[in-house]
Every structure is written in structure tokens, then in C-alpha cells.
Amino acid sequence: MTGRLTVLAGPSGVGKGSVIAEVRRLHPETWLSVSVTTREPREGETDGVEYHFVDQAEFDRMVADGELLEHDAHMSASYGTPRVPVEAQLAAGGSALLEIDIEGARQVRSSMPDSQLVFLAPPSFEELARRLTGRGTESADRVRERLDRARIEMAAEDEFDVVLVNDDVERAAHALVALMTTPTALE
Ligand code: 5GP
């Protein structure tokens, strides 16, 4: 028996990171994939916990050797999911959770069609726009660029199996973990 792979993706600014942090807190038994990235660690991040931090040469080698299940670039850094740990977890009959961007989710769908794709959506587009522009320190062009991208990313919702609304981080985290074991357990 093989386990189920669940992929959480969604537009930038929707709060994927907060939902995953809440999953770690409420359900520490959850098996979460640790991505590789070429970006610098942020304060409080530990190599091997949130990410494996690698340089571009090592990232490129992993891509060339087929070691990544999917990969994408984001804000001039590269991100990818190491293949072997995910496959080993599923082969052992366990469930696995990936938090990646929308393009990565598309790649997983084509290489592992049985995976469950969960789209984390904001309560409304206005709410997402508020979160994306809330800082008020950016130029009008930069704000417009972010909103245009958000609109494109929101349109990807239809490609996903399940839409999970991030109206409450704790509720979303519980619902996500429930979906990992019982795909119909959302409502
Ligand atoms: P951050 O740098 O803020 O941790 O993440 C930036 C973006 O990269 C987020 O949208 C996150 O979902 C995405 N991301 C993180 N890990 C991966 C990965 O392994 N693959 C892909 N495709 N995207 C990822």
C-alpha cells in the first residue's frame, strides 16, 4: 500500500507559511517535505528544518541528476522538492505534505497524478489585495505588478481538487491535516 501525497499551493500573500507553521504546532506528527532553496535563511530558520539551504551549483546539479520532484524559481531564488524522501514516505504507506508554489503543484500533478492538490484561497480577492499592499511603502507600479500576479494566481484555483479558504489559520491547519487522511473531510 502506498500513502497519499497532498500538495498545498496558493497565491503569494495568502498565508501558506502561517498555515504550515500551525500544522507543525498542532500536528507535529505530520510528515512535511523539506524543500531545497538557494535563498538565504531568514532569522529563526534552521537548515534542514524549514529548508535545506544550498548554493546554485548544488541546486543545478540536483536538477540535472533528476533528484527533484519539481522545481521553480521565485523572486530570483530557486526552490525544489527532493524526490527520494517523498517517495520513501509514500512507499512506506505514510501520508506526505508539500507546501510549494502553483507552478510546482502543476509539475507534481503531471508526474504524480494521484496526488491531492489543495488550493489555499483568501476569504476574498479584496482581502488578498489588502494583505499584498498593506505595507504602503511600495511604488504604484510595484503594487500593480503584485495585484496582476495575484489575479493570475487566483485563476489557477480551478486546476485544484480542493479549495481551502484561509479565513482562520487554526481551522485551515486542522482541515488540511484532515484532508491528508480523509480526502472528503473538509466540511
Ligand atoms: P519563501 O521564500 O517565502 O519561504 O517561499 C517563497 C515561495 O516559494 C512560496 O510561494 C513557497 O510556497 C514556494 N516554495 C517553497 N518551497 C518550494 C518548492 O520546493 N517548490 C516550489 N515550486 N515552490 C516552493
User: What CATH number is attached to the domain comprising 151?
Assistant: 3.40.50.300
In the chain, what is the greatest distance between 2 CA atoms, to the nearest angstrom? 53
SS3 at position 28:
coil
Burial class of residue 174 in the structure, from the number of CB atoms within 10 Å of its CB (0-12 exposed, 13-18 middle, 19+ buried)? middle
The answer, yes or no, to whether any atom of ligand 1 lies below 6 A from the CB of 38, is no
What percent of the chain clears pLDDT 90, i.e. is strictly above it? 81
Over the chain (187 residues), the average pLDDT of each successive run of 10 is: 87 94 95 98 94 98 98 93 97 96 96 96 93 79 88 96 97 96 58
The answer, yes or no, to whether any atom of ligand 1 lies below 6 A from the CB of 50, is no
For the stretch 143-174, pLDDT in tens is 888 899 999 999 999 999 999 999 999 999 99
Q: State the DSSP H helix or E strand holding residue 37, giving kind and residue range, or none if neither.
A: strand 35-37
pTM for the model stands at 0.93
Please give the span between the terminal C-alpha atoms of the chain, in angstroms, as a whole number.
27
Residue nearest to atom 15 of ligand 1 (CA): 100
Are 115 and 7 contacting, i.e. CB atoms less than 8 angstroms apart? yes
Distance in Å, CA 120 to ligand 1 centroid: 14
Give me the numbers of helices (H) and strands (E) for the chain, helices first please. Answer: 7, 8
Distance in Å, CA 8 to ligand 1 centroid: 11
Per the structure, the complete domain to which residue 79 belongs is given by: 5-186
Q: How far apart are CA 123 and CA 130, in angstroms?
A: 11
Write the single-letter amino acid at 168.
D
